[in-house]
Amino acid sequence: MTERAADVAVDNYAGIDPAAADQQLNDKVGMKLLEATAERVVGTIPVEGNLQPYGLLHGGANAVLAEALGSTVAALNAGPDRAAMGLELSCTHHRAVRSGTVTGVATPLHVGRGTITAEIVLTDDEGRRTCTARLTCVVRDRPPGA
């Protein structure tokens, strides 16, 4: 599963199906979850291994990181009896990245009964903003037994 800092415990927050635990896209892009609270979720991906044909970080890798972090902040705000699922993701790519690590920070912009919207800011190793994303998740009651 996604590599995490020792103090980040979010395994049970989203009711991940054990059969799907070894098939997570986050693992394939090398995502590391560093911090996870209802107010802020932080994670990274390496640029290496996530390139597009011109040698730049793939915009889809930015989207994977943004959606993973935004979904996590939404799930933490939704609570244990509710499920948050991505409804809309918007990414604006500001700066190309060729090497190093990209860090994302997700914070909730709106926490409502039916939707949660998060802003996700991605930066390079020099702290320059590379992408700004916004994710809106729909929030539903978790089905019994799920």
Does 102 fall in a domain? yes
Name beta bridge partners: 99: none
Beta strands 115-123 and 129-141, pairing class: antiparallel
- Here the CATH number for the domain that contains residue 90 is 3.10.129.10
Is residue 3 among the annotated active site residues?
no
Count of domains observed in the chain: 1
Domain assignment present for residue 20? The answer is no
Its pTM stands at 0.87
* Domain assignment of residue 12, yes or no: no
Q: Is residue 3 part of a domain?
A: no
Residue 4 has pLDDT above 80, yes or no: no
Q: Does residue 54 lie within any of the structural domains? A: yes
Is the distance from CB of 89 to CB of 106 less than 8 angstroms? Answer: no
State both tokens at 126. 């020099």
The whole-number pLDDT of residue 92 equals 98
Looking only at the bridges linking them, the beta strands covering 101-111 and 32-36 are unpaired
**89 is a domain residue:** yes
Does residue 51 belong to any structural domain of this protein?
A: yes
**Among residues 48, 67, 119, 126, which one is catalytic?**
67
Q: How confident is the model at residue 23 (pLDDT cuts 50, 70, 90)?
A: confident
β-partners of residue 38 are none
How confident is the model over 116-141, as a mean pLDDT? 98
Instruction: Give the three-class secondary structure for 107.
Output: strand
**Is residue 103 in some structural domain?**
yes
Alpha-carbon span 32 to 26, nearest angstrom: 8
CA 52 to chain centre: 20
C-alpha Rg value of the chain to the nearest Å: 15
What residue numbers bound the domain in which 40 lies? 26-141
Residue pLDDT, tens place only, 39-90: 999 999 999 999 999 999 999 999 999 999 999 999 999 998 899 999 999 9
Q: What integer is the mean pLDDT of 13-34?
A: 79
Query: What pLDDT is stored for residue 1 in this prediction?
Result: 41
Rounded Cα gap, residues 134 and 140, in angstroms: 20
